[in-house]
Protein backbone atom coordinates (compact mmCIF):
# COMPACT_ATOMS: atom_id res chain seq x y z
CA UNK A 1 0.00 0.00 0.00
CA UNK A 2 1.41 3.38 -0.96
CA UNK A 3 1.09 6.41 1.22
CA UNK A 4 -0.51 9.49 -0.28
CA UNK A 5 1.91 12.27 -1.21
CA UNK A 6 2.53 15.04 1.28
CA UNK A 7 0.31 18.07 0.88
CA UNK A 8 1.55 21.63 1.15
CA UNK A 9 0.18 21.67 4.71
CA UNK A 10 2.12 18.48 5.54
CA UNK A 11 5.36 19.90 4.16
CA UNK A 12 4.82 23.17 6.03
CA UNK A 13 4.16 21.37 9.34
CA UNK A 14 7.15 19.09 8.76
CA UNK A 15 9.40 22.14 8.30
CA UNK A 16 7.94 23.82 11.38
CA UNK A 17 8.28 20.75 13.60
CA UNK A 18 11.87 20.18 12.50
CA UNK A 19 12.93 23.80 13.01
CA UNK A 20 15.87 23.61 15.42
CA UNK A 21 15.98 27.30 16.43
CA UNK A 22 14.31 26.63 19.79
CA UNK A 23 16.55 23.65 20.52
CA UNK A 24 18.22 25.26 23.58
CA UNK A 25 14.84 24.91 25.35
CA UNK A 26 14.86 21.12 25.00
CA UNK A 27 18.43 20.11 24.13
CA UNK A 28 18.93 17.92 27.22
CA UNK A 29 16.73 15.46 29.09
CA UNK A 30 16.74 17.74 32.15
CA UNK A 31 15.49 20.69 30.12
CA UNK A 32 12.79 18.55 28.48
CA UNK A 33 11.63 17.33 31.88
CA UNK A 34 11.57 20.93 33.08
CA UNK A 35 9.50 22.02 30.08
CA UNK A 36 7.06 19.15 30.62
CA UNK A 37 6.85 19.98 34.35
CA UNK A 38 6.26 23.65 33.55
CA UNK A 39 3.58 22.70 31.01
CA UNK A 40 1.91 20.45 33.56
CA UNK A 41 2.04 23.18 36.23
CA UNK A 42 0.68 25.81 33.83
CA UNK A 43 -2.12 23.44 32.80
CA UNK A 44 -3.01 22.85 36.46
CA UNK A 45 -2.93 26.59 37.21
CA UNK A 46 -5.11 27.41 34.22
CA UNK A 47 -7.54 24.66 35.17
CA UNK A 48 -7.69 25.80 38.80
CA UNK A 49 -8.27 29.42 37.80
CA UNK A 50 -11.04 28.42 35.41
CA UNK A 51 -12.64 26.16 38.03
CA UNK A 52 -12.55 29.07 40.47
CA UNK A 53 -13.87 31.71 38.08
CA UNK A 54 -16.48 30.06 35.91
CA UNK A 55 -19.13 28.62 38.24
CA UNK A 56 -19.41 31.60 40.58
CA UNK A 57 -21.57 34.64 40.13
CA UNK A 58 -20.13 38.01 41.01
CA UNK A 59 -16.53 36.86 41.30
CA UNK A 60 -13.84 39.22 40.07
CA UNK A 61 -12.56 38.98 36.53
CA UNK A 62 -8.90 38.65 37.56
CA UNK A 63 -8.83 34.82 37.31
CA UNK A 64 -9.84 34.97 33.65
CA UNK A 65 -7.23 37.66 32.99
CA UNK A 66 -4.65 35.42 34.69
CA UNK A 67 -5.72 32.52 32.43
CA UNK A 68 -5.13 34.67 29.35
CA UNK A 69 -1.70 35.70 30.69
CA UNK A 70 -0.76 32.07 31.46
CA UNK A 71 -1.78 30.90 27.99
CA UNK A 72 1.29 32.49 26.37
CA UNK A 73 3.90 30.52 28.36
CA UNK A 74 1.66 27.44 28.06
CA UNK A 75 1.75 27.76 24.27
CA UNK A 76 5.54 28.26 24.30
CA UNK A 77 5.94 25.12 26.41
CA UNK A 78 3.61 23.21 24.06
CA UNK A 79 5.72 24.33 21.11
CA UNK A 80 8.93 23.32 22.87
CA UNK A 81 7.59 19.83 23.56
CA UNK A 82 6.37 19.51 19.96
CA UNK A 83 9.78 20.67 18.74
CA UNK A 84 11.58 18.21 20.99
CA UNK A 85 9.49 15.36 19.59
CA UNK A 86 9.75 16.74 16.05
CA UNK A 87 5.99 16.88 15.80
CA UNK A 88 5.46 13.23 16.67
CA UNK A 89 1.86 13.85 17.70
CA UNK A 90 1.08 16.85 15.52
CA UNK A 91 2.11 15.57 12.10
CA UNK A 92 -0.20 13.46 10.00
CA UNK A 93 0.67 9.78 9.77
CA UNK A 94 1.79 10.09 6.15
CA UNK A 95 4.44 12.65 7.17
CA UNK A 96 6.07 10.23 9.64
CA UNK A 97 8.65 7.60 8.84
CA UNK A 98 8.35 4.03 10.18
CA UNK A 99 10.39 4.74 13.30
CA UNK A 100 8.26 7.77 14.14
CA UNK A 101 5.03 5.83 13.54
CA UNK A 102 6.20 3.13 15.94
CA UNK A 103 7.26 5.75 18.48
CA UNK A 104 3.85 7.46 18.20
CA UNK A 105 2.13 4.13 18.86
CA UNK A 106 4.34 3.52 21.93
CA UNK A 107 3.67 7.02 23.27
CA UNK A 108 -0.07 6.70 22.77
CA UNK A 109 -0.16 3.25 24.41
CA UNK A 110 1.77 4.48 27.45
CA UNK A 111 -0.38 7.62 27.72
CA UNK A 112 -3.50 5.45 27.48
CA UNK A 113 -2.30 3.29 30.39
CA UNK A 114 -1.50 6.32 32.55
CA UNK A 115 -4.84 7.96 31.75
CA UNK A 116 -6.67 4.72 32.56
CA UNK A 117 -5.00 4.68 35.99
CA UNK A 118 -6.01 8.31 36.53
CA UNK A 119 -9.61 7.57 35.55
CA UNK A 120 -9.70 4.60 37.92
CA UNK A 121 -8.29 6.79 40.70
CA UNK A 122 -10.86 9.52 40.02
CA UNK A 123 -13.72 6.99 40.02
CA UNK A 124 -12.45 5.45 43.25
CA UNK A 125 -12.16 8.90 44.87
CA UNK A 126 -15.76 9.74 43.95
CA UNK A 127 -16.96 6.40 45.31
CA UNK A 128 -15.03 6.84 48.54
CA UNK A 129 -16.47 10.32 49.02
CA UNK A 130 -19.96 8.95 48.47
CA UNK A 131 -19.48 5.94 50.78
CA UNK A 132 -17.98 7.99 53.61
CA UNK A 133 -20.95 10.32 53.57
CA UNK A 134 -18.91 13.34 52.54
CA UNK A 135 -20.10 16.03 50.18
CA UNK A 136 -22.20 14.89 47.29
CA UNK A 137 -20.10 13.42 44.45
CA UNK A 138 -22.10 15.68 42.13
CA UNK A 139 -20.20 18.59 43.66
CA UNK A 140 -16.88 17.18 42.47
CA UNK A 141 -17.97 15.30 39.35
CA UNK A 142 -18.00 18.26 36.93
CA UNK A 143 -14.60 19.74 37.78
CA UNK A 144 -13.08 16.27 38.10
CA UNK A 145 -14.44 15.23 34.71
CA UNK A 146 -13.00 18.37 33.07
CA UNK A 147 -9.63 17.82 34.76
CA UNK A 148 -9.50 14.20 33.61
CA UNK A 149 -10.50 15.26 30.09
CA UNK A 150 -7.67 17.81 29.99
CA UNK A 151 -5.19 15.24 31.27
CA UNK A 152 -6.44 12.69 28.72
CA UNK A 153 -5.94 15.24 25.94
CA UNK A 154 -2.46 16.32 27.06
CA UNK A 155 -1.04 13.05 28.42
CA UNK A 156 0.36 11.89 25.05
CA UNK A 157 2.22 15.21 24.73
CA UNK A 158 3.69 14.91 28.23
CA UNK A 159 4.65 11.26 27.71
CA UNK A 160 6.25 12.05 24.35
CA UNK A 161 8.19 14.92 25.89
CA UNK A 162 9.49 12.65 28.64
CA UNK A 163 10.31 9.73 26.32
CA UNK A 164 12.25 11.61 23.64
CA UNK A 165 15.98 10.98 23.68
CA UNK A 166 18.85 13.38 23.19
CA UNK A 167 19.78 13.90 19.54
CA UNK A 168 23.34 12.65 20.11
CA UNK A 169 21.99 9.42 21.66
CA UNK A 170 19.75 8.87 18.63
CA UNK A 171 22.70 9.43 16.27
CA UNK A 172 24.95 7.08 18.30
CA UNK A 173 22.27 4.39 18.19
CA UNK A 174 21.88 4.77 14.43
CA UNK A 175 25.66 4.60 13.98
CA UNK A 176 25.75 1.46 16.13
CA UNK A 177 23.15 -0.22 13.92
CA UNK A 178 25.11 0.71 10.81
CA UNK A 179 28.40 -0.57 12.20
CA UNK A 180 26.95 -3.92 13.36
The DSSP secondary structure of 24-86, one letter per residue, reads: GGTSSHHHHHHHHHHHHHHHHHHHHHHHHHSS-SS--SHHHHHHHHHHHHHHHHHHHHHHHTT
Task: Provide the percentage of residues in the chain whose pLDDT is more than 70.
Answer: 86
The pLDDT of residue 2 is 67
Residue 21 has pLDDT above 60, yes or no: yes
Residue 6 has pLDDT above 80, yes or no: yes
Round the average pLDDT of the chain to a whole number and report it. 85
* Helix, strand and coil in the chain, % to nearest 5: 75, 0, 25
Residue 5 has pLDDT above 90, yes or no: no
Average pLDDT over residues 163-172: 70
The pLDDT of residue 172 is 52
Separation CA 135–CA 128 (nearest Å): 11
Separation CA 46–CA 69 (nearest Å): 10
- Buried-exposed string 81-111: b where 16+ CB fall within 10 A, e elsewhere: bbbbbbbbbbbeeebbeeebeebbeebbebb
Residue 180 has pLDDT above 50, yes or no: no
The pLDDT of residue 89 is 92
The pLDDT of residue 169 is 54
Residue 73 has pLDDT above 60, yes or no: yes
Amino acid sequence: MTTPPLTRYDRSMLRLMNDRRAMPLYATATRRRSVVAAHLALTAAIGALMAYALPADGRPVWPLVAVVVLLLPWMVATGAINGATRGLLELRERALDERQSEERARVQARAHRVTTLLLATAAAALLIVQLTGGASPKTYAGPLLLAVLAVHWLMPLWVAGLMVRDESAEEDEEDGHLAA
